[in-house]
Amino acid sequence: MSLLRPRARAAWLRLHRWLGLGLGAVFVLFGLTGSLLVFYVGIDEAIEPALAVPGPEPQVRSWQSVLDALQRAHPQRDRGWRIELPPDGRGLVTARYLKPTETAGAFYKPLLVTVNPASGQVLANRFWGDFAATWVYDLHYMLLAGETGLKVVGVLGLLLLISIVGGLVLWWPRRGHWRDALRLKLTGSRQRRHYDLHKLAGVGGGVVLLVLAATGVALALPDWVEPPLARISPPLPMPSPKATLQPGLPLLTLDEALARARAHWPESVPRWVDTPSAGAAIVRVRLWLPGGPSERFPRSYLWIHAQTGQVLAERDARQQSAGDAVLAWLHPLHNGEAFGMAGRVLACVAGLLPLLLMVTVIFFDVSRLIGR
């Protein structure tokens, strides 16, 4: 039996029911697309014919050769590249040119260029959102509607949170009734079986769904989340160093710049590098440091002079505030990365639960209508 009084239970039941029936299809969309996105990089490489490279994973010969390939393929793009660095130096390398003229005015639509680091061959030139993996990403993240869609997703995520909490409140049993609350009665009516399946799926995955929904809301509505956190726990500042080119002094190669970053933090793993725009003098390196929750999107940075190799500024995530730590955990919790492959698989499976919950409640209603 529920802890709720009859009138309170009836109110929660109406809310939970109408949120599920009214927005269930949207919740299912979020879940299914989220499941795909847990592994979207690997899926993209598997389904994109241009990225099919026979044999073992290509080994990076030098990072400068990757940059040279990008600059040869796109000599007119002079504002610098954001290159993702595979942590073990193996695999295809994808770089982003953040604001191409072809997609000016779009909310987020960079050019993605994929390079075979062993041969220096450019395999693909694609704009974000124009191919399957990133189209699914935009559908999940902002319903293909840009900044407005992002806010809509945040509000819908809040409603999903309310629906999940409502389901758990309705289920929560009184003391001494836990065994009955967790029982699946396979011998009862169809209506009862569908009810029990709905109940146990919600209870079994409710906590994971709560985490996924809450982190999704925070990622979609940073203007609602970050200011209160900043008041409670001021963030570690993001440096903005200035530097100028020194006449007659050559630029460091990308390999030399990354070597300076690793020398500064020997325990680090560089994951992204922003190469300098034409006439600029700063290389920015984004690095993972031990203990960080996200290896792919760490929050430690070094700013390095592109000629001298001097470290101009740093942001060490190990010194960040509690509020920063909360923000750092949002993305790796949302996609399961924080707990390695097991966490990613769990997040992927949890994304299927809204579909199961919707199907069982529809079957429950049908069974009730036909009296079985």
CA 66 to centroid of chain Cα atoms = 26
The mean pLDDT value of the chain amounts to 93
What's the rounded mean pLDDT across residues 137-143?
98
What pLDDT score was predicted for residue 39? 96
What's the rounded mean pLDDT across residues 119-126?
96
Percent of the chain with pLDDT over 90: 80
Q: Is the pLDDT of residue 365 over 80?
A: no
What pLDDT score was predicted for residue 366? 63
Cα distance between residue 15 and residue 201, in whole Å: 19
Q: pLDDT category, 363, cuts 50, 70, 90?
A: confident
Q: What is the pLDDT of residues 282-298, one digit of tens each?
A: 999 999 999 999 999 99
What pLDDT score was predicted for residue 106? 95
What pLDDT score was predicted for residue 368? 62
What's the rounded mean pLDDT across residues 51-62?
92
What's the rounded mean pLDDT across residues 143-148?
96
This prediction has a pTM of 0.91
Q: What is the pLDDT of residues 239-289, one digit of tens each?
A: 999 999 999 999 999 999 999 999 999 999 999 999 999 999 999 999 999
Cα distance between residue 350 and residue 355, in whole Å: 10
Q: Is the pLDDT of residue 192 over 90?
A: no
Q: pLDDT category, 147, cuts 50, 70, 90?
A: very high
Write a three-state SS string for the chain.
CECCCHHHHHHHHHHHHHHHHHHHHHHHHHHHHHHHHCCHHHHHHHHCHHHCCCCCCCECCCHHHHHHHHHHHCCCCCCCCEEECCCCCECCEEEEECCCHHHCCCCCCCEEEEEECCCCEEEEEEECCCCHHHHHHHHHHHCCCHHHHHHHHHHHHHHHHHHHHHHHHHHCECCCCHHHHCCCCCCCCHHHHHHHHHHHHHHHHHHHHHHHHHHHHHHHCHHHHHHHHHHHCCCCCCCCCCCCCCCCCCCCCHHHHHHHHHHHCCCCEEEEEECCCCCCCEEEEEEECCCCCCCCCCCEEEEEECCCCCEEEEECHHHCCHHHHHHHHHHHHHCCHHHHHHHHHHHHHHCCHHHHHHHHHHHHHHHHHHCC
What's the rounded mean pLDDT across residues 329-350?
96
Q: Is the pLDDT of residue 371 over 80?
A: no
Q: What is the pLDDT of residues 78-95, one digit of tens each?
A: 999 999 999 889 999 999
What pLDDT score was predicted for residue 2? 61
Q: Is the pLDDT of residue 185 over 90?
A: no
| 33-42, 85-94, 184-193: least confident range | 184-193
What pLDDT score was predicted for residue 369? 55
What's the rounded mean pLDDT across residues 347-354?
96
